[in-house]
Amino acid sequence: GTAPGTLTDWYDGVRDADRALRAASPQVGRPHIWASQLHMLFNRLGLAPDEERAVCRLAARTLLDRGDTASYFPDDHTSPDR
């Protein structure tokens, strides 16, 4: 390429280290990366662990919602005692 020698050496070193790390550990799926990024965002926003858990529960319940009609005595995740 056209990069100076120092930058090329740095790029090659980073690329080699990345390849070595990827070969040494199992692939991490996107859900794990998403969860990690969300956790770091909550840390930066200053959320307490209880607040973080509340947001995660809300997100999980939203993802589980299938759009069924509401029941007065639900047995699924929409039950108030769950």
- Per-residue pLDDT of 2-13, as tens digits, reads 666 778 888 888
Q: pTM for this one?
A: 0.44
Q: What is the pLDDT of residues 40-80, one digit of tens each?
A: 999 999 999 999 999 888 888 777 777 767 666 666 666 76
Query: In angstroms, what CA-CA distances link 42 with 33, 47, 50, 62?
Result: 14, 5, 11, 19
Q: How far is CA 36 from the centre of its chain?
A: 4
